[in-house]
Structure 1
Amino acid sequence: MPELTFDYDATLAACARGERQALQHLYEQEGARLLGVARQLVRDTALAEDIVHDAFIKIWTGAGSFDPQRGSARGWIFSVTRHLALNYLRSQGREVQVQDTALDALAIATERLDWSGVMQAERIHLCLDQLEPQRRSCVIHAYVDGYSHAEISQKLATPLGTVKAWIKRSLAALRGCMG
């Protein structure tokens, strides 16, 4: 679990200002967890290390584009890493199982859902399976693909209010299921 005192927003802002020490602190705080996520997706430690390296370069160069209105800073750095890993898998023609990536994304969202992380992976799979397909799709688009509620609304041709309600209820159901 991340330190309660670590300020991800301030750290990303410092990275955006070019403060190298901030990137070092971010690496010390999350590097091992990011490596775990990348390794779980690509199933290769050396490749996962390369992906995490590339992710930190992307975090460093893109920190100024982080928008706290679209999600948490911690979620954003994990999203950068996941996207790089998924892009690698797609470029290699390897199939990506949506539930596996949803599992990673949802397990990482600990600060939002108060879960203990990847250790409950199997349980998350079972809980996701209990959601109606459209609601599960909304959660996956939000936490795996990084779509905003408006983007999900457009993608699914569903009213924005409905998408927001589905995600809110789905997260509540997932919390309840995770017990």
Structure 2
Amino acid sequence: MSIPDPQQLKILLAAVARKDPAAFRNIYDATSPKLFGFALRILGKRESAEEVLQESFVSIWNNAASYQASLAAPMTWMTTIVRNKAFDLLRRVEHTVEIDADNFDKDVMDALESADPTPIQTLQLTQESKILAICFGRIDGLHRQAIAMAFYHDMSHSEVAEHLHLPIGTVKTWIRRGLERLRVCLKKAEGE
């Protein structure tokens, strides 16, 4: 069965919101191969992708009434659910904490409360740290995590790859792209 057009999916989601099992079966049959492939690309393990797909469809069943066509196409909405469930599983399984910009910013600010630097140095460092935290927060989550592991935990690219269960080439690409985005963001902030 091919993936229905967005209008058909909207109609099916509306029926799922009314707890129509036949509509749910139709959505599952039509979209699960694509959503499974998406989960598999993120997770790299068939069993994990199957688990995420199952959790995602439970979420789709339970939350179909909250779907808003004005905010996203049906396939985009379902793909976002799969993506979020996959990232949740990665965080649970790997026991890694993703650095989030708000916490990173607070940690930097806390570190700056040391009595050692002068007030002017602290102010300048605070502003630079805030800009760094904002730019760092704009990098994709897993890319940000790979960079943090490499630079803040002093892990080699191969250690990061092993820890994240990813190919080393992927990790190197993520770090390179993330650092490039960071450089561009910092350069823009510097020019402002």
1:62, distance to aligned residue in structure 2 (A)? 0.3
1:42, distance to aligned residue in structure 2 (A)? 1.0
Q: Greater CA radius of gyration, 1 or 2?
A: 2
User: Percent same amino acid among aligned pairs?
Assistant: 23
What root-mean-square deviation, in Å, do the aligned CA atoms of Structure 1 and Structure 2 show? 3.0
> Residues 98 and 20 of structure 1: is their aligned pair in 2 closer, same or farther, counting only changes over 3 Å?
farther
CA deviation digits over 1:108-165, x for unaligned, max 9?
xxxxxxxxxxxxxxxxx9xxx7xx959x99xxxxxxxxxxxxxxxxxxxxxxxxxxxx
Deviates more, 1:2-11 or 1:59-68: 2-11
Equivalent position of 2:91 in the other structure: 90
Equivalent position of 1:38 in the other structure: 39
Alpha-carbon distance between aligned partners in 2 of 1:13 and 1:31, rounded to the nearest angstrom:
18
Contact 2:6 2:74 in 1 (8 A): no
CA deviation digits over 1:7-52, x for unaligned, max 9?
1111110000010011110111111111111111111101111110
SS in 1 for 2:95: coil
> Residues 86 and 64 of structure 1: is their aligned pair in 2 closer, same or farther, counting only changes over 3 Å?
same
Alpha-carbon distance between aligned partners in 2 of 1:50 and 1:81, rounded to the nearest angstrom:
10
Equivalent position of 1:70 in the other structure: 71
Alpha-carbon distance between aligned partners in 2 of 1:23 and 1:64, rounded to the nearest angstrom:
13
Alpha-carbon distance between aligned partners in 2 of 1:3 and 1:33, rounded to the nearest angstrom:
12
Provide structure 2 residue ranges, at least 5 long, that are not aligned to the other structure: 99-140, 145-172, 186-192
Alpha-carbon distance between aligned partners in 2 of 1:53 and 1:35, rounded to the nearest angstrom:
9
Provide structure 1 residue ranges, at least 5 long, that are not aligned to the other structure: 100-124, 138-179
Alpha-carbon distance between aligned partners in 2 of 1:66 and 1:26, rounded to the nearest angstrom:
14
> Residues 67 and 4 of structure 1: is their aligned pair in 2 closer, same or farther, counting only changes over 3 Å?
closer
SS in 1 for 2:70: helix
User: Aligned residues, how many?
Assistant: 107
Alpha-carbon distance between aligned partners in 2 of 1:93 and 1:17, rounded to the nearest angstrom:
37
Contact 2:6 2:75 in 1 (8 A): no
1:98, distance to aligned residue in structure 2 (A)? 4.2
After superposition, residues 95-106 of structure 1 pair within 5 angstroms as 97-98=142-143
